[in-house]
Amino acid sequence: MQKSVAQAGAELAHFIEQHPKLWVITGAGVSTDSGIPDYRDASGQWKRSPPVQHGEFMASQQVRKRYWARALVGFKALREAQPSGAHKALAALEAMGFIELLVTQNVDRLHQRAGSRRVIDLHGRADLVKCMSCDYQMMRHAMHSEMARMNPAFAAMDASHAPDGDADLEADFSAFRVFDCPRCGGILKPDVVYYGDVVPPPRRLAAEVGLKNAQAVLAVGTSLMVFSGYRFCREAHAMGLPIGSLSLGVTRADALLTHQWRAPLTPVLTHAVEQLAALHRTLDTQELPSSQNRQGASRSSGSA
């Protein structure tokens, strides 16, 4: 059952105050207010066909043609997106000293643009492409510029945006020309962990180190249906850490949660940040007179 913004925000603020070294994991729900569609509904079911599999992308030129033609239209949503209130609230919590580490399953880099610094992009970043043969890297906007030049008819098309820079575009993609690695001619792929691929071990290990230093876990805007994110909640549960979730729907980790708020993300996070800021201002004000008295006593002692 959903809670009111005020109730959920107050409870979340208390949770954070009690566990000030949070390990936070975020998902697509954090970026929907930025205009980036998500994959799943409130019950955790797919809203559309699942995204492309790593094996399919690597094995089939036709799959790559379809992928890049649709991305030429849909990537505008990621490129032009601005941080949401949820991104900004999480950055504020980090600045206040409450976040030990933020692990995001998103690939849009909006947490960093909002001001968060202690971030691990668990599934990579969509603004980079990498050659699967020689490891050559280039910025994605540069690749899209080349493909737009090579495919002017496709570049002029329009369609509704889909998750992760995809678009709901259906056409004959056989004539689309894919831009391959300029160094070796290999397959260029977004520097993103696709379904069927694995999170690079150094990235996973860095997230685990952060978890060991945390006092609690907070999942924000994620159903945790993907095992790469859910595994950390299982580890936290085994460690005896409190686990909270703020989302609009169910999560795969519901049975592991000690706290759950089914409520809209941005207003609840904003309310919690405001409450924590007000609490700290009150504490600072209460400490000020005793500090001034100590200073006054010191001056009196020095003049005697």
Beta bridge partners of 139: 128
Q: How far is CA 115 from CA 46, 81, 95, 167, in A?
A: 31, 15, 9, 28
Reading the block at residue 86, the tokens are 């949820």
Q: Which helix (H) or strand (E) holds 282?
A: helix 265-303
Reading the block at residue 19, the tokens are 């566990």
Q: Is 131 labelled as part of a ligand binding site?
A: yes
Is 87 an active-site residue? no
Angle 5-18/265-303 helices, nearest 10 degrees? 50
Close Cβ partners of 70 (under 8 Å, ≥ 6 residues apart): 159, 162, 166, 167, 169
d(CA 58, CA 208): 29
Q: Are 190 and 140 in contact (CB under 8 A)?
A: yes
Q: CA angle, 97 as apex, 93 and 102 as ends, to 5°?
A: 60
Q: Is 134 labelled as part of a ligand binding site?
A: yes
Choosing from 111, 123, 144, 161, the catalytic residue is 123
What is the three-state SS of 42-106?
Answer: CCCCECCCCCCEHHHHHHCHHHHHHHHHHHHHHCHHHHHCCCCHHHHHHHHHHHCCCEEEEEECC
Q: Is 233 labelled as part of a ligand binding site?
A: no
Positions of E strands within the chain:
22-26, 99-104, 119-121, 124-131, 137-139, 188-192, 216-220, 243-247, 259-262
Instruction: Give the annotated binding-site residues for Zn(2+).
Output: 131, 134, 181, 184
Active-site positions read 123
